[in-house]
Structure 1
Amino acid sequence: MSPRRASSEEKNNRYNVRVLDRAINILLTLADGKPRTLQEVSDAISLSPSTTFRLLATLSCYKFVQKDALGRYSLGLTCLELARAYYESNDLRKVALPELEALRDEVKETVHLAILEGTEVVYLEKLPGLHAIGLMGSRVGGRAPAYCTGLGKVLLAHLKAEEIEDFLRKQPLAPFTEKTITNPETLKCELEQIRKMGYALDRGEHEAEVRCVAAPIFDMHGAVVAAISISGPAGRMEPLDANLGLIERACQAARAISEKLGFRPRA
C-alpha cells in the first residue's frame, strides 16, 4: 500500500508550513523503499525539479535522504534512527512482544501486531513463522487495507456505527482477490458477526494464498487500541473456520495483552 498522505482537512490547516509539507511528501514518497531520480521525485510530489532539488539537498544534509551512484534518492540513516527510537519507545509493542513471541513459538506461524489509522492497518510488529514462507507482503511500518485483512476487520468491527459509515464513504471496496468483500452491506454484516464472535478471519481476501485469524486488544478503558493476528498459508491454516485451537490461541494472547494494558472484562 502507499504511505499515508495528509487529508484535505490536514493540508488546509492554517498552521501548516508549506516547505515542511513538501519535504514530508518527499519522505512519504520514498517510504516504499524504491530509489527514485530527481525527476521521478519531482513528478511524484508535483513540484518543479529545481524546487525538489533544493528540498532534497536540505534533507540530504540531515541524512533524511541519500543519493546513490546512479543519482537516485532513497531514505537515509536518520529515518532509520527515528524509526528505531519510535520502535523502542512504543509501550504497546513492548507490552505485547512477550505474548507475541510465545504465540509465534507455539503455533509456528507468522504473528502480527497492528493498529488502525484511517482506512488502513499499520503493522507495529511482525514475527515471522518458524516455517519458511515467501508469499506474505506485510512488514513492520507497512500498511494494508483494513476492509480485507483480518487485523483490519477486527479493528473496524469495534468502531461506532457512524464511524463505519464514514469509513465506507471514504474507502472504495476494490477487489484484491476473488474472496475480497466488495459490497458495503455484506461487509457491515461481517463486521457485526466479528464483533459478536470476538475474532476475525481473513480467508484469502487480501493475499489469495494467505489465511489469518485476528483478535482485538483492549485498553484499560475498554477501547480497542490494536489487534494481533496469526497468519500462514492456506495449506496449513485451512479449514480456517474449523481451526478452533488456533482461533482460541489468538484470542487468549490478545486477552493476555489486554490485561497487561489494564483491561478488566465485565463480569
Structure 2
Amino acid sequence: MISISVKTLSSLLRGLQVVETIGSAQPVGLTELCRLLDEDKSALQRVLVTLHQAGWIRQLGGSPPRWELATKIVTLAGQAHSASSLLSRARPLLSGLRDATGETTHLALLEGRKIVVASVADGTHTVRTALPIGQVHPPETSAAGRAIFAHLTPAERAERAGTAAALLTAAEYDEIRTRGWSLCEGAVQSGSTSIGAAIFDITRAPQGAIVVSAPDSRLTSDAYASVGTLVRDAARRLSGR
C-alpha cells in the first residue's frame, strides 16, 4: 500500500469521536459528553448541532436534553452489512454450520482491540444461545478471542488484552493453533459453551472467527472434537484455505 502524507481534518475526527462516544454512552447529556471527551462546552455544542443537522444524532426531551444516535446510523450499517463481501461469503457457511449442529453460529470480527459479532445464524432449538449483531466479546476469554489470539505473538496478545491475567498460557494457545479450534466453557455467558476457529485475511493475519455456541447441556465434552472440526473446516473455507 502506498503511504501518502495528508493532513487530517481535526473537526471531522472530533465529530467521529463524538458519534462513537454517544453510541457507547447514550442517552447522554452535554455535561457528561464534555467530561468523557475532555472538551469545551461551547465547542462541543457546535459539533452536536452539526451532527444533529446532518441526521446522525437526535435530541431527547427533558431538561437538560440528552443525545442518542439517530436511525441513519442503523440504515448505513445495514447497507454496509448487506454489501460486505466477507459477510456475504460467510452467511451460507454460517447457515450450513447451524444446520449441521442445530446450534447458533456467528461470525465475529477483530476491530482494533474489540471482537464484534458481525453476522448470526440462529440455532434451531427453542432454547438456544442468542447473540445480537454488534455485541462485543472479551478477547481473552471468548472462543473467538482465544482462536484469534492463538495466531498472534505474545506481545500482540498483551497489547490487545484488556486483562492480561485472563490470557491463556503459551502452551494452551499452541494447542488451539495445532488442532484448529478454541473452547470457551461459560466464561462469557454462564451455562453456554462456545467453540471457535480463526479466519484470516489475504496476508494470513487473523481477522476474526467463526463460532458455534450452545447451552452446555447440549454441547458437552464428548461433542467438542466433532463440532470443533466442523467449525475449523468452515473457517478454512471462508479464509480460502
Instruction: With the length of structure 2 as denominator, give the TM-score of the two structures.
Output: 0.84
Change (3 A) 1:53 1:101: same
* Counterpart check, 1:245 vs 2:239: no
Q: TM-score, normalized by length of structure 1?
A: 0.77
* Alpha-carbon separation, structure 1, partners of 2:10 and 2:201: 37
Aligned to 2:155: 165
Letter of the 2:95 partner, please give it.
Answer: E
Structure 1 stretches of at least 4 aligned residues deviating more than 6 Å after TM superposition: none
Which residues of structure 2 form unaligned runs of 5+?
A: none
Residue 163 of structure 2 aligns to a residue whose secondary structure is: coil
- In structure 2, what is the equivalent of residue 103 of structure 1? 97
Residue 78 (1) aligns with residue 60 (2): no
- Post-superposition Cα deviations, 1:194-236, rounded to whole Å, max 9, x if no partner, equal 0111110011222332210111234566554431000122222
Does residue 148 (structure 1) correspond to residue 141 (structure 2)? The answer is yes
From 196, 200, 205, give the equivalent of 2:187: 205
Aligned to 1:10: none
Rounded to whole Å, the distance in 1 between the matches of 2:57 and 2:30 is 12
In structure 2, the residue matched to 1:31 is 23
Matched ranges for 1:186-265 at <5 A: 186-219=168-201, 222-239=204-221, 242-258=223-239, 261=240, 263=241
1:139 aligns with 2:132: yes
Aligned residues with identical type, % of pairs: 26
2:48 to 45, 56, 79: 56
Paired with 1:149 and 1:25, the residues of 2 have a C-alpha distance of 27
Q: 1:134 to 1:16 in 2, by over 3 A?
A: farther
CA distance in 1, matches of 2:175, 2:45: 52
Aligned length: 235
User: 1:127 and 2:108 equivalent?
Assistant: no
**Aligned equivalents of 1:77 and 1:143: distance in 2?**
20
Structure 1 spans left out of the alignment, 5+ residues: 1-12, 175-181
Report if the CA contact (8 A) 2:197-2:231 is conserved. Answer: yes
